[in-house]
Structure 1
């Protein structure tokens, strides 16, 4: 897994894949009051909830580019549609390595059957409780901080339009994430975590 980040195979693309589910279209109960001379911007902290969406994202660990798709539901059927989109957008001569978590929708019989028919796809699953290894999680954090938490959306369509625009803007100047630790340090951190949780019941 860590080796895919540090030494990706030749003739292949490595994509960090996950879903950010239940993104809420929230609108503030009162409009934001703009900055006035001597007064800071004022905003209420209570919201009106206007629906949910799920963002499927594949973060290219080499370039930082993102393939994304929005769906109102979060099932294996939607994950399969996302795999089909990835298959169309990644050049046909490249192998595709996907780094995913162990969520059930990634392993259903329908998904396994689809993957069998598309042998250029190679699935790599992060250990349980180690989603931090998956770089797309960090990208989701940027999206949440810069767009979702600061926004106000009267409906799901407005939220989805904002997310699409943000992703499109990201892809005009994408940035990969650079590991600050060596592969050995990351593996040792993971080993320590596994030792801690295996001893938790004693």
Structure 2
């Protein structure tokens, strides 16, 4: 029996360069790398059997790709189009599944707070939209449009009629401007608030340090050792934190924090010190403004808008404290909590840099414009009536 000779492969310089990139590229798919290696070895005159041994492929596979390239070049190394299995679900069924995912379950009579893929699959079958469908198939459909009905984000409607004015005043202070005039070298901006109910939870078993392939382990059961309030003032532009622990919040503890800051330099002899605070009971309204000015004439209280504590930079520091100091909560008593917070202040002040605050008045205008576009007309009318009355 005559033995058929292997097909001769001749490469141009461009083809050789392209095949080498395919064969040795780290991001090239595995099958493409194998096919490129077969062609390169064939161009060196290797037999199909030897190529199969070197590439760990079957000799018939080597013969196939060698022959395809010899007759059609580089384009033939790609997979041919296959008809594949007929689609089981119609585009209408897929669209109805996505439409159902974009509805609240309660609106459709289903006693759920949100949809999950298994629940959607069961509901599609119950409604007769599909015969049977798996949760993984539903998940693939939703992924096409980045739909995640099991997730949610909370929000709050703006109720402060002077929201823009108050927010702009705060944002301008972060940019070292007040009422259109740049701040002087002897003027400072301090952001302040209280972190309530910092608890001392003594775990019933000691916390285990992390180890190889093991996360830190914290016992679920604990004994309560009381709670305290952590008050802090943050110099926005100097990245300096002043803090104190009190049994509870209130006017007296807040003024104690103010005194702690305002009796130290450079704030004691400063031209003006702007205190940015929210609308909590410790520093709410005109009485709080008058109280601060009477105690320290060079102090100016600036309130954030209602329900807009996110404009107060001290909240960023509190989030750092929560992540790095409080959690996981394992303290024997409140004394240990106080000592840890004081030590963290010293550690933070040693290396702290001002926060890179990027939300400007232009961003504020864009935000308000988006809210206006999404606010129903009847809600706008209700707000107008409420403001008028």
Shorter chain as denominator, the TM-score bin is 0.7 to 0.9
Contact 1:80 1:111 in 2 (8 A): no
1:103 alignment counterpart: 280
Instruction: From 156, 159, 172, give the equivalent of 1:3.
Output: 172
Matched, 1:167 2:345: yes
Q: Which is richer in strand?
A: 1
1:186 alignment counterpart: 364
2:379 alignment counterpart: 199
2:9 alignment counterpart: none
Change over 3 Å in CA distance of 1:176–1:2 after alignment to 2: same
Structure number with the bigger relative contact order (C-alpha 8 A, sep ≥ 6) is 1
**CA-to-aligned-CA distance 1:51-109 (integer Å, 9 cap, x gap):** 11111111111021111111112111111111111111242331110000011211374
Q: How does 1:118-129 map to 2 (within 5 A)?
A: 118-129=296-307
**CA-to-aligned-CA distance 1:15-36 (integer Å, 9 cap, x gap):** 0110101110112222123456
Where does structure 2 lack aligned partners over 5 or more consecutive residues?
1-169, 178-182, 383-389
Q: How does 1:145-160 map to 2 (within 5 A)?
A: 145-160=323-338
The alignment yields a C-alpha RMSD, in angstroms, of 2.7
Contact 1:50 1:155 in 2 (8 A): yes
Structure 1 position 7, deviation (Å): 2.2
Structure 1 position 183, deviation (Å): 2.6
Instruction: From 202, 218, 232, give the equivalent of 1:43.
Output: 218
Change over 3 Å in CA distance of 1:148–1:85 after alignment to 2: same
TM-score by length of 1: 0.87
Q: How does 1:46-65 map to 2 (within 5 A)?
A: 46-65=221-240
Change over 3 Å in CA distance of 1:154–1:117 after alignment to 2: closer
Number of residue pairs matched by the alignment: 202
Partners of 2:230 and 2:299 in 1: how far apart? 21
2:315 alignment counterpart: 137
Q: Which is richer in helix?
A: 2
Contact 1:6 1:183 in 2 (8 A): no
TM-score by length of 2: 0.47
Matched, 1:77 2:217: no
* Greater Cα offset, 64-73 or 139-148: 64-73
